[in-house]
Amino acid sequence: MINIKPYVVSFCSGKKSVGKSVVAANIGYMLASLGNKILMCDVDLLSPTLHLIYGEEPLMRINDIYTGNSSISATIHSVSQNLSLIAGNSGDNSEVDDKRFRKCLDEIIAYDDYESIIFDCSFGVNDNVIECIKLSDMIIILISDEPGSVIDGYGLIKTIQKIMPSKDIRIIVNNVIDKEDADETEQKLNRATAHFLSSEISSLGFVPYDRLVKSSIMRQELLTHFHPNSESAIELKKISKSISECIKSEIYV
């Protein structure tokens, strides 16, 4: 049997500037290259960047869906084979109320041309992030080895588990020296979640510090496409394979 509903993943972070959107964009690309039909959706109403990371300038953006100026099909922008994008809008998004935002998300998910929809959320916790999480099959939280990132990541997990205790939450440790550094960061987080929340959060993997990441951002060149053999790209591919297995297991049940 094949499920009609796409597998929904939300990329979140408790803290700004941990590389959430860069990781999300590269994983979306890798998932598409593994044969999954992926729709990336930039729901960061503060500073959307997915289109910049992909080096694309779509004519229609998500606000055109909110305001009724464009249909979903007309707003979807093709990035590469199996990979499409609904880009976000920078600037004033005050006209987007909670009900309209939720209605927009529901319409995007009901658009059943994709195996998986990936929401790139804004950092922290707000009503829009919560709405995305409610609709998600998996929530991926990006943290780094900075103490503030671990603390804010814990705070986000605490909020999610309070509202939706059964949600599948995973972490990715980004921009660390090596696996040992990643494991130490993961352990710090899980000591807090075990003590205060009586839970342990599984890790999807880690992404090491790599100068090519910064270079790819500056050039608007996707790391996993232009530097597929780099250390970071190899780890991103491992993470993507794990997520792809989850997508496939949910589709074919």
Q: Is 178 contained in some domain?
A: no
Q: Residue 49 belongs to what domain range?
A: 7-141+211-239
pLDDT recorded at residue 40: 98
For residues 126 and 97, give the distance between their C-alpha atoms in angstroms, rounded to a whole number. Answer: 12
Q: Is 118 contained in some domain?
A: yes
Q: Is 173 contained in some domain?
A: no
Token reading at 185: 């960061």
Note the pLDDT tens digit of each residue in 29-50.
Answer: 999 999 999 999 999 988 899 9
Instruction: State the angle between helix axes of 98-110 and 127-134 in degrees (0 to 180), rounded to the nearest 10.
Output: 30
Q: Is 246 contained in some domain?
A: no
How many domains in the chain?
1
In this structure, the strands spanning 83-86 and 138-143 are: unpaired
Please say whether the beta carbons of 38 and 83 come within 8 A. yes
Q: Is 202 contained in some domain?
A: no
Angle at 224 between CA 147 and CA 21, to 5 degrees: 45
For residues 253 and 107, give the distance between their C-alpha atoms in angstroms, rounded to a whole number. Answer: 24
pLDDT recorded at residue 92: 55
Q: Is 244 contained in some domain?
A: no
pTM: 0.94
Nearest to 85 by CA among 35, 128, 25, 143: 25
Q: Which residues of the chain have pLDDT under 50?
A: 1, 253
Note the pLDDT tens digit of each residue in 205-246.
Answer: 999 998 888 888 888 889 999 999 999 999 999 999 999 999
pLDDT recorded at residue 101: 87
pLDDT recorded at residue 1: 45
Q: Is 147 contained in some domain?
A: no
Q: Is 42 helix (H, G, I), strand (E, B) or coil?
A: strand
pLDDT recorded at residue 46: 81
- Assign residue 220 the CATH number of its domain: 3.40.50.300
Q: Is 99 contained in some domain?
A: yes
DSSP-derived letter for residue 91 is: S
